[in-house]
């Protein structure tokens, strides 16, 4: 079994060299070619002076060079930092500075946009442009700029650094509820444990074709590569523009596995799927939030032979739970039980275990627990704390991830997500989960997208406001309020419903951007004039 991340590709190249590893548009790379390329790129990065644990940032859309750069950096003994291609120059510069990136792999148009901010990245010494054909390096500020061919042609006599599975492999930046994004540090062991665990319960196999539509900067997106490589399967790379493009790709490429977040599933469920797509898709997965019941029901009607896996995870522990498909009929609202090789606890504030049905904080323990937040010991100490209930005789306490998410566990051990602590709405003395309100709104059949928000209110503390994108042109706010009153207690019924004809804003990982909506609507209920 592979000990280091890049060995997933190298081992498959030995076993099945001619099998297709990645597809991008009309280009196919088999495992032998992919293994050769990551070794060439690894040598090129070492020739640039990359040392053990130095960071290599990749700021590109999904394409073959992106995959080669990620795994080539790991093979060189470095740490890869995938940057979401949707981020703007100032956001990219923050990441480059925060984790002291030494080498940046990007494209010419992106480098041009970054040029004004790169001067303020003192640790960065080299920029590699994948679409730069010239072989001679040039200078930009204090930087060496070279083309992809020059990197591949580099001669290196330095031996690879010695790396073990507990060493850093990647830093993934995740948005926080406040302030700048945090860099989650993942080891080779973290990434490999997650890949094997997920591939195990999904039953991934060599003939799978897995569509990668989520960004590699998102742990859920990166997982589409690692689970494919564990099984010797094919990863099909795609940057989609419209939901219809995803369905077309499933049909054209014979996709067997598709991962998405709830807003994307809501859109996909509203479309017709061609027979070829219905036939090929073996499983679908959901994470990044609860899938609405109405959406799940619509997908199951459209895709009767596709097995749905409802999952829960967080970047700090990659993946935590999944609901076995045979349990969906009985517990469609459950996030399931712990994935293989993980343990999930639900605890009170003092760390004592909650009783069945009692809400508490979800805590994850095991080899998926990340190494912490880069360059942020305070936030690391808040989130990565000693595992509750461990033997007091242990001289070094085992760290666990305290998720910040509220959940409950039933008497059979199945878990139910209630909400994030920082998303919970506090209205009239009650704590309300936005997920519960959104589930009822989706169940009305009137809503294509929605977000339930807590907006400051002078009398209520926070008022519940639902922003919706109607499913049809004819929309009745009063009918939707009436539906909510039938299914929710009065304190959970939205005070206002705001309809929009356009999609709700998204964050870079494709989730609905609640913070942006709250900031936009923050003065909806002004304080009364004295």
Residue 178 is predicted with a pLDDT of 42
Q: Over the stretch 323-350, which tens digit does the pLDDT of each residue have? A: 999 999 999 889 999 999 999 999 999 9
Please determine, for residue 182, whether its predicted confidence score (pLDDT) is greater than 50: yes
CA–CA distance from 429 to each of 426, 463, 494 (Å)?
Answer: 6, 11, 15
Mean pLDDT estimate for the chain: 91
Average pLDDT over residues 258-279: 92
What's the chain's length in residues?
A: 530
Helix, strand, coil percentages in the chain from 3-state DSSP, rounded to 5 = 30, 25, 40
Pair of tokens at residue 298: 């619509």
The residue written with tokens 């590893």 in the block is 21
Q: Do the Cβ atoms of 181 and 175 come closer than 8 Å?
A: yes
**What's the rounded mean pLDDT across residues 165-183?**
81
CATH class of 314-422: mainly beta
Pairing of strands 143-147, 182-187: unpaired
Asked if residue 421 has pLDDT above 80, the reply is no
Tokens encoding 3: 């000990």
| pLDDT at 105 exceeding the cut of 60 | yes
- Is the dihedral angle over the CA atoms 426, 427, 432, 434 positive or is it negative? negative
- Name 82's bridge partners: 58
Helix runs in 169-317, H state only: 188-202, 219-231, 243-253, 262-269, 275-280, 293-302
Higher pLDDT, 140 or 131: 131
Are 483 and 452 a contacting pair, CB within 8 Å? no
430-432/425-427 β-pairing: antiparallel
Spatial contact of 286 and 261, defined as CB atoms under 8 Å apart? yes
Supply the pLDDT for residue 177.
41
pLDDT score of 314 more than 50: yes
Q: Give the C-alpha separation, 196 to 193, whole Å.
A: 5
Question: For 84, how many CA atoms within 13 A lie in the half-sphere containing its CB?
Answer: 24
Q: How many angstroms separate the CA atoms of 44 and 152, rounded?
A: 6
Q: Please give the CATH topology (third level) of the domain spanning 7-183.
A: Rossmann fold (3.40.50)
Task: Report the CATH fold assignment for 426-520.
Answer: GMP Synthetase; Chain A, domain 3 (3.30.300)
CA-CA distance, 102 to 51, in Å (whole number)? 9
Q: How confident is the model at residue 179 (pLDDT cuts 50, 70, 90)?
A: low
- Per DSSP bridges, beta strands 425-427 and 143-147 are unpaired
Q: Are 320 and 313 in contact (CB under 8 A)?
A: yes
What percent of the chain is predicted at pLDDT more than 90?
70
CB 69 within 8 A of CB 58: yes
- CA dihedral (413, 414, 420, 424) in degrees, to 10, reads -100
pLDDT in tens, 468-484: 999 888 888 899 999 99
SS3 category, 37: helix
Q: 66 pLDDT band (50/70/90 cuts)?
A: very high
Query: What's the pLDDT score for residue 393?
Result: 76
- For residue 471, give both structure tokens: 């499913």
**Winning range, highest mean pLDDT, from 132-136, 149-153, 218-222, 223-227:** 223-227
Q: What is the rounded distance in angstroms from the CA atom of residue 488 to the CA atom of residue 151?
A: 60
> What is the spatial distance between Cα 387 and Cα 394, in angstroms, rounded to a whole number?
11
Q: Is the pLDDT of residue 176 over 70?
A: no
Tell me the torsion sign for CA atoms 410, 411, 413, 414.
negative
Q: What pLDDT is stored for residue 242 in this prediction?
A: 87
Contact 388, 363 (CB under 8 A): yes
What's the gap between Cα 65 and its chain centre?
20
Please tell me what DSSP assigns to residue 492: G
Please write the tens of the pLDDT for every residue from 398-420: 899 999 889 999 999 999 988 77
Contacts of 211 (CB under 8 A, 6+ apart): 224, 236, 238, 246, 249, 250, 253, 255, 257, 258, 259
Q: What is the pTM of this model?
A: 0.85
Beta partners for 307?
A: 283
- Give the tens place of pLDDT for each residue, 49-61: 999 999 999 999 9
More confident residue, 390 or 85: 85
Cβ of 330: how many Cβ atoms within 10 Å?
9
In this prediction, residues 12-18 reach a mean pLDDT of 97
Q: What is the pLDDT of residues 502-518, one digit of tens each?
A: 999 988 778 888 889 99
Q: What residues does 300 pair with on adjacent strands?
A: none
Residue corresponding to tokens 């290599």: 56
Exposed / middle / buried, residue 374 (Cβ in 10 Å: 0-12, 13-18, 19+): buried
pLDDT band at 307 (very low <50, low <70, confident <90, very high): very high
H-assigned helices in 392-475: 434-443
Least confident range of 167-181, 287-301, 313-327: 167-181
At residue 294 the predicted structure's pLDDT band, cuts being 50, 70 and 90, is confident
Structure tokens that stand for 466 in this block: 């639902």
Q: Compute the distance between CA of residue 222 and CA of residue 175 in angstroms, rounded to an integer.
A: 16
pLDDT at res. 429:
67
In whole angstroms, give the CA distance from residue 81 to residue 182: 12
Q: Which of 244, 237, 202, 205 is nearest to 221 (CA)?
A: 237
The predicted-structure confidence for 223-262, as pLDDT tens digits, reads as follows 999 999 999 999 999 987 789 999 999 999 999 999 998 8
User: How many Å is the Cα radius of gyration of the chain?
Assistant: 24
**Predicted local confidence at residue 439, as pLDDT:** 85
Q: Where are the domains of the chain?
A: 7-183, 314-422, 426-520
| d(C-alpha 292, C-alpha 443), whole Å | 8
């Amino acid at each position: 079994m592979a000990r280091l991340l890049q060995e997933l590709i190298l081992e498959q190249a030995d076993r099945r060299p001619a099998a297709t590893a990645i597809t991008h548009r009309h280009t196919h790379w088999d495992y032998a070619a992919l293994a050769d390329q990551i070794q060439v790129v690894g040598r090129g990065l070492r020739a640039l002076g990359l040392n053990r644990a130095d960071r290599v940032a990749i700021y590109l859309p999904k394409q073959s060079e992106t995959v080669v750069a990620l795994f080539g950096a790991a093979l060189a003994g470095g740490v890869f930092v995938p940057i979401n291609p949707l981020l703007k120059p100032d956001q990219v510069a923050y990441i480059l500075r925060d984790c002291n990136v030494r080498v940046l792999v990007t494209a010419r148009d992106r480098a041009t946009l970054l040029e004004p901010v790169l001067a303020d990245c003192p640790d960065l010494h080299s920029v590699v442009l994948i679409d730069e054909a010239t072989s001679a390096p040039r200078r930009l500020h204090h930087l060496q700029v070279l083309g992809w061919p020059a990197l591949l042609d580099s001669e290196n006599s330095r031996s690879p650094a010695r790396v073990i599975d507990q060493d850093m492999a990647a830093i993934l930046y995740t948005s926080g509820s406040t302030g700048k994004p945090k860099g989650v540090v993942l080891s080779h062991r973290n990434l490999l444990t997650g890949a094997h665990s997920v591939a195990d319960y999904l039953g991934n196999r060599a003939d799978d074709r897995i569509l990668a539509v989520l960004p590699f900067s998102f742990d859920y997106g990166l997982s589409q590569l690692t689970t494919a490589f564990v099984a010797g399967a094919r990863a099909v790379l795609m940057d989609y523009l419209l939901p219809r493009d995803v369905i077309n790709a499933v049909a054209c490429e014979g996709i067997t596995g598709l991962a998405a977040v709830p807003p994307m599933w809501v859109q996909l469920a509203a479309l017709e799927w061609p027979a070829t797509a219905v036939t090929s898709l073996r499983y679908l997965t959901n994470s990044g939030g609860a899938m609405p019941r109405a959406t799940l029901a619509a997908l199951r009607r459209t895709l009767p032979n596709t097995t749905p896996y409802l999952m829960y995870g967080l970047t700090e522990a990659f993946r935590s739970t999944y609901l076995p498909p045979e349990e969906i009929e009985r517990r469609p609202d459950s996030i399931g039980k712990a994935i293989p090789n993980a343990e999930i606890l639900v605890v009170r504030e003092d760390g004592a275990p909650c009783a069945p049905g009692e809400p508490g904080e979800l805590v994850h323990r095991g080899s998926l627990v990340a190494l912490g937040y880069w360059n942020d010991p305070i936030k690391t100490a808040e989130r990565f704390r000693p595992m509750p209930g461990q033997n007091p005789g242990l001289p070094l306490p085992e760290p666990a991830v305290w998720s910040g998410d509220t959940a409950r566990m039933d008497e059979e051990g199945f878990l139910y997500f209630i909400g994030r602590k920082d998303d919970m709405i506090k209205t009239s003395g009650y704590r309300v989960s936005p997920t519960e309100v959104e589930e009822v709104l989706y169940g009305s059949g009137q809503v294509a997208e929605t977000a339930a928000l807590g907006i400051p209110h002078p009398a209520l503390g926070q008022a519940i406001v639902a922003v919706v994108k109607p499913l049809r042109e004819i929309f009745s706010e009063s009918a939707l309020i009436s539906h909510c009153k039938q299914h929710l207690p009065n304190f959970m019924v939205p005070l206002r419903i705001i309809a929009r004809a356009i999609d709700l804003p998204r964050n870079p990982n494709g989730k609905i951007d609640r913070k942006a909506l709250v900031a936009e609507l923050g003065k909806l209920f002004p304080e009364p004039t004295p």
